């Protein structure tokens, strides 16, 4: 007898669909942002309308202003969609990490140190921006610095059954390439040597 009660699952489904409209309708097309719905939770039984249902996901931006705007729109949508379904909404918008923004001089310095380790052709400082979340962003807000990537190889080191080619972290087939450990260690040694050298002017 669903007509005798309230259905939070219907509200959550409607909200999940509308959340997908926030970025294209609220963030300028010249600015990159991402909102991904990754969780929908309701009843554990197929014949029960639960008292509570929830939707979850992640937001990534390159600016605090964009993050503020997305949170504002998310709260507005959640409150009004819940009201339309005669439900109430509880919103948790956790700002775990701000955007990762490298400092230009430190990024160039880091790339230069890596070139001394692996050679000019193996390093790029023109890497496309990515929407990954990283708590090192807090450090970059306190001190100038650089967040960099170290390649994991072409995938030949991976065990059988994981498919061809490389894959990135947060993938069920990810397998860290132990052969890159000396490269990473050498990079940090070179970085420290150059940074602490009197000629570095730091």
Contacts of 151 (CB under 8 A, 6+ apart): 180
The two three-digit tokens of residue 35, written as one number? 């909102």
pLDDT at 89 over 60: yes
- 80 is a domain residue: yes
C-alpha 128/C-alpha 122 separation (Å) is 16
Which residue from 12, 11, 22, 102 is spatially nearest to 59, judged by alpha carbons? 22
- What's the CATH number where 52 sits? 3.30.70.360
Do 78 and 110 reside in the same domain of the chain?
no
Domain boundaries, position 28: 2-84
Which residue from 22, 21, 12, 93 is spatially nearest to 49, judged by alpha carbons? 12
Do 69 and 111 reside in the same domain of the chain?
no
Residue that terminates a domain, selected from 19, 51, 84: 84
Question: Long-range contacts: 49-52, Cβ < 8 Å, 24+?
Answer: 49/2, 49/5, 49/7, 49/8, 49/9, 50/8, 50/9, 51/8, 52/8
Do 109 and 78 reside in the same domain of the chain?
no
What local confidence, expressed as pLDDT, does residue 159 receive? 75
What local confidence, expressed as pLDDT, does residue 130 receive? 83
pLDDT at 195 over 70: yes
Question: Which band of pLDDT confidence, cut at 50, 70 and 90, is reported for residue 42?
Answer: very high
Lowest-pLDDT range, 71-85, 150-164, 171-185?
150-164
Which residue from 129, 22, 156 is spatially nearest to 77, judged by alpha carbons? 22
Exposed/middle/buried for residue 74 (C-beta within 10 Å: 0-12, 13-18, 19+): buried
What local confidence, expressed as pLDDT, does residue 104 receive? 93
Average of per-residue pLDDT across 176-188: 94
Domain count, the chain: 2
Do 117 and 167 reside in the same domain of the chain?
yes
With a threshold of 0.85, does the pTM exceed it? no
């Amino acid at each position: 007898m669903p007509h005798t009660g309230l259905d939070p699952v219907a509200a959550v489904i409607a909200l999940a669909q509308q959340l997908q409209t926030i970025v294209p309708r609220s963030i300028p097309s010249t600015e990159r942002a991402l909102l991904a719905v990754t969780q929908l939770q309701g009843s554990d039984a197929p014949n029960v309308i639960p008292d509570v249902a929830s939707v979850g996901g992640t937001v990534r931006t390159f600016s605090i202003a964009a993050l503020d705007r997305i949170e504002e729109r998310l709260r507005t949508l959640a409150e009004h969609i819940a009201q339309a379904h005669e439900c109430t909404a509880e919103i948790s918008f956790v700002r775990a990490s701000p955007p990762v923004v490298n400092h230009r001089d430190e990024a160039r310095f880091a790339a230069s140190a890596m070139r001394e380790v692996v050679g000019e052709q193996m390093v790029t400082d023109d890497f496309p921006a990515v929407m990954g979340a990283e708590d090192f962003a807090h450090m970059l807000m306190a001190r100038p610095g650089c967040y960099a990537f170290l390649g994991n190889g072409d995938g030949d080191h991976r065990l059988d059954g994981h498919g061809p080619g490389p894959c990135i972290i947060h993938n069920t087939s990810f397998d860290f390439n132990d052969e890159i450990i000396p490269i990473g260690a050498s990079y940090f040694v070179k970085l420290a040597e150059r940074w602490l050298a009197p000629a570095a002017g730091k």
